[in-house]
Structure 1
Amino acid sequence: MARSDFGSVTGWVSSRAMTSGGRLRVTVEKNALSGAGGLISNTRIPDGTAYELGFDIQFHSQFDWSRGGKVGFGLGIGNGNTGCNLPTDGAGGTLRLMWYNNPSTNRVYFHPYIYHQGMPGPCGSNFGKSYPTSGSIEKGRTYKIHMYVKSNTGNNANGHVQLKIDGQAVIDQSIRWTTNDSRRFINNLSFHTFRGGKADEWKSGTDGYIYYDNLYVRQISK
């Protein structure tokens, strides 16, 4: 359906996705990281300078947190930098979501995972934000995710990034996504669900299941 609607969808692995109870269930496979054990799917969307999206997410009641991973839908700007490829040329950025099991605090939480012009590196920025601000996310609970991205112009920090979870603002601030105006347009809907990180501590010895529902994507301005 996505290919029919948008004409360009990459990275879908049918064996790791199924419909369960009216929801999409994605399997993140044991002993594997990144695309080797999950989904790294990208869909080309019409160029725009502002988009919003939303979706529901739930981790299975027996899900093994391991160290963490990327989850759900996100938005890409210009070259859509990911994978510790810092956008030093000012030609790309991304907003995605992670879950993270912090060994120093024994908390499991969501945080934004952002690539943007001027980021410190070595990989995506989280701006020190997390949800919840105390305690941990829960297996078996449905969380409502909302994202908003607005492009900036030139070298100005007049873009915007917003992530809300269950109506609570996790990050909501101005940002400089790019400095190359020819690459300032939001053009990609990502669906990245996998464990990692790169080290073995991010792996799990069991298959895990993550459920998605109620996706919407809206172009707000061209």
Structure 2
Amino acid sequence: MSHIKIQLGILALLLLVGGTGCVSSEDRAGVNESLSIDFEQSPVGKYSERRLKSEWRGTQIVCGKKDYVFYKLGITPYPLTIGEEQANNYLSVQIDKGRFDPIVGAQWSTPLAGSDSFYLSYRVQFAGDFDFRRGGKLPGLAGGAANSGGNIPNGTDGWSARMMFWENGKLSFYLYYPDQPGEYGDPLFWRHSDGEIVKAEAGKWYTIQQYIQMNDPGQKNGIVKGWLNGELVCDADTIRFRDTEALKVDQVFFSVFMGGGDLSWAPGKDQQIWFDDFQAFNSLKKN
């Protein structure tokens, strides 16, 4: 009982001093002209916050005060480990049974040198017999406040272009931009040339690639492209991300969790999503 009281006391203290927004409150140490992270130099086992911040230069944890404190106190299992498969290291994100939203999973923002265009690539596997349920979030590019969570952009504050998986492994962009039709992100589904929605299968590696080009301020000419294993599966050129030149592509938004806002999104078992070979640079993918 005394141990529980100590934990609750620490929790209350950390919540009081944590302020609002991100609780891992380091100023960004710098921005990245490009990123190339393959986890080969990271030892197998826990992928610590210190290790994360050394590889993802300038990163800020954005999981929220309560979620972060729960990790620190061991109330919620730490979600990040380095695994090894056929002499290749990868990052594993744990998703706990019966849980949804960022309290289980991982979220951080890694700064990029602000540009009107950026390219992002990474490999992903929904490990084992993954339970897709209703879906969840995957990393993408973003700018400014990296709007999410029902925070509709106003054209001057920010935007985001995360990925999302859905029931049966369907894949889409998940866009926050001023013209989005609803309160939450707008799913721009990835489709094969015949119009069929792209689906990922559990237990297989996929290479996801995306390219974002900012619109001219106030114009609906922003570009969003996506490739799966080299196949162009999304090509939109009518997006208004911004009404000001000040907004750029300036971060990788690593956002991985199930949800969704209720238990219908939660998996029926503990499971993992694996990631590898992150690359980001200011160049259009020619394909």
Q: Could you tell me how far apart the structure 1 residues matched to 2:258 and 2:142 are? A: 20
- Say whether residues 1:41 and 2:90 are aligned partners: no
One-letter amino acid of the structure 2 residue matched with residue 85 of structure 1: N
Alpha-carbon contact 1:18-1:25 (below 8 Å) kept: yes
22-31 or 83-92: bigger deviation: 83-92
Give the corresponding residue for 1:3.
53
Give the corresponding residue for 1:120.
181
One-letter amino acid of the structure 2 residue matched with residue 86 of structure 1: I
One-letter amino acid of the structure 1 residue matched with residue 151 of structure 2: N
- Say whether residues 1:190 and 2:190 are aligned partners: no
TM-score, length of structure 1 as denominator length: 0.87
Equivalent position SS for 1:3:
helix
Alpha-carbon contact 1:91-1:180 (below 8 Å) kept: no
Q: Which runs of 5+ in 1 are unaligned?
A: 102-106
Give the corresponding residue for 1:81.
147
Q: Could you tell me how far apart the structure 2 residues matched to 1:122 and 1:208 are? A: 29
Cα distance change, pair 95–134 in 1 and its aligned pair in 2 (3 A)? closer
Q: Could you tell me how far apart the structure 2 residues matched to 1:8 and 1:27 are? A: 20
- Aligned Cα RMSD in Å? 2.2
Alpha-carbon contact 1:74-1:189 (below 8 Å) kept: yes
**Structure holding more strand per residue:** 1
Q: Deviations over 1:156-208 (max 9, x none)?
A: 123211111112222212121111222x2111111111000002100123111
Cα distance change, pair 135–164 in 1 and its aligned pair in 2 (3 A)? closer
Q: Deviations over 1:69-114 (max 9, x none)?
A: 002x21112221111211134432111111101xxxxx43111111
108-117 or 166-175: bigger deviation: 166-175
- Say whether residues 1:177 and 2:249 are aligned partners: no
Give the CA deviation at 1:3.
2.9
Q: Could you tell me how far apart the structure 1 residues matched to 2:83 and 2:52 are? A: 19
Give the CA deviation at 1:62.
2.2
**Structure holding more helix per residue:** 2
Cα distance change, pair 202–135 in 1 and its aligned pair in 2 (3 A)? same
Q: Which runs of 5+ in 2 are unaligned?
A: 1-50, 64-70, 72-76
Alpha-carbon contact 1:30-1:37 (below 8 Å) kept: no
| Pairs aligned (count) | 213
Give the ranges of 4+ consecutive aligned residues of structure 1 lying more than 6 Å apart after TM superposition.
none
- The higher-RCO structure (CA 8 Å, 6+ apart) is 1
